């Protein structure tokens, strides 16, 4: 908590002065990674991406790493995240440090030199990463969805920790496209009042079903998003 307060104190001090000079954030201008501490153990990689992208309000997330306990497979309460645009790290630190998710306080700070996680080779030896990890690049969703023009969902490895998030984004994009197409054709222009009521009732039932299946982690994420309506811009 002391680190959280100190970061917020520095941010408030700079905003109070309103100076156009160098900011403490400039020390980390060469790194697009941030450290995230205080994460609830139920949060998934997809939940963390949702929080720190705020549906692209803060920026595009391209890599996320949540270290896990080797025995239980659960996250260890902290992680690292990379943005496509380094300036997004400033927004994240300014707005999300000290935020509360599932009754836990987040600690968000810059990472000056991020080291890619090592991987275990076929011989059982740990090796340094071959290159930059980009496991959250949005283009993965587009590529998966473009393989087929049908209605089947993209084929994603069930063991992939990003699977639920990628499928959710794929469904959202597909739903959005359908809505635009229906609007352009005036699909509901000539429907009767009875048909309209029936359509709205079906929509409510689908929404209620989605709410029931939401994880506790996702509910916490959505609560945070509702509380952060106006992110502070610091660049």
With a CB cutoff of 8 Å and minimum separation 6, the contacts of 168 are 46
Longest dimension (CA), the chain: 68
pLDDT band at 82 (very low <50, low <70, confident <90, very high): very high
Distance CA 11, CA 93 (A): 9
Asked if residue 32 lies in contact with residue 84, where contact means CB atoms within 8 angstroms, the answer is yes
In angstroms, the CA 132 to CA 109 distance is 21
Q: What is the 3-state secondary structure (H, E, C) of 81-129?
A: EEECCCCHHHHHHHHHCCCEECCEECEEEECCCCCCCCEECCCCCEECC
Task: Give the distance from CA 185 to its chain's centroid.
Answer: 33
Domains in the chain: boundaries: 2-135+220-227, 138-187
The rounded mean pLDDT for the chain is: 76
d(CA 66, CA 47): 11
Q: Please tell me which residue, 201 or 172, carries the higher pLDDT value.
A: 201
Query: Which whole-number Å values give the CA distances from 60 to 78, 160, 173, in the listed order?
Result: 20, 20, 16
pLDDT for position 141: 45
For the beta carbon of residue 147, count every other beta carbon within 10 angstroms. Answer: 10
Residues 9-27, mean pLDDT to the nearest whole number:
65
Residues of the chain with pLDDT > 90: what percent? 19
pLDDT in tens, 23-52: 778 888 889 999 999 999 989 998 999 889
Average pLDDT over residues 67-93: 91
d(CA 32, CA 175): 32
Tell whether the model's pLDDT for residue 210 goes beyond 90: no
User: What are residue 81's phi and psi, to 5 degrees?
Assistant: -140, 140
Supply the pLDDT for residue 48: 92
- Give the pLDDT of residue 64: 94
User: At residue 135, does pLDDT exceed 50?
Assistant: yes
The reported pTM is 0.56
For residue 118, the model assigns a pLDDT of 80
Query: pLDDT confidence of 119, banded at 50, 70, 90?
Result: confident
The SS3 assignment for 209 reads helix
Three-class SS of residue 20? coil
Whether pLDDT at 187 is above 80: no
Superfamily for domain range 2-135+220-227: RRM (RNA recognition motif) domain (3.30.70.330)
What are the tokens at 173? 């994009």
pLDDT value, residue 128: 79
């Amino acid at each position: 908590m002391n680190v959280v307060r100190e970061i917020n104190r520095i941010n408030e001090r700079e905003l109070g002065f309103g100076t156009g000079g160098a900011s403490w954030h400039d020390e980390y201008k060469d790194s697009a990674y941030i450290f995230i501490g205080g994460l609830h153990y139920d949060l998934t990689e997809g939940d963390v991406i949702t929080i720190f992208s705020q549906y692209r309000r803060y920026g595009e997330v391209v890599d996320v790493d949540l270290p896990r306990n080797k025995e239980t497979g659960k996250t260890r309460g902290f992680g690292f995240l990379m943005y496509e645009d380094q300036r997004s790290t400033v927004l994240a630190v300014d707005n999300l440090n000290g935020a509360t998710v599932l009754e836990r306080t987040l600690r968000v700070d810059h990472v000056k030199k991020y080291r890619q996680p090592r991987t275990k080779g076929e011989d059982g030896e740990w090796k340094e990463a071959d290159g930059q990890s980009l496991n959250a690049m949005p283009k993965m969703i587009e590529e998966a969805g473009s393989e087929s023009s049908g209605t089947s969902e993209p084929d994603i490895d069930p063991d992939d920790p990003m699977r639920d998030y990628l499928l959710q984004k794929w469904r959202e994009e597909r739903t959005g496209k359908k809505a635009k197409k229906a609007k352009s054709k005036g699909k509901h222009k000539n429907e009767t009042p009875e048909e309209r009521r029936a359509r709205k009732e079906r929509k409510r039932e689908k929404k209620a079903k989605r709410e029931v299946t939401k994880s506790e982690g996702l509910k916490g994420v959505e609560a945070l998003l509702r509380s952060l309506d106006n992110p502070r811009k610091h660049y």
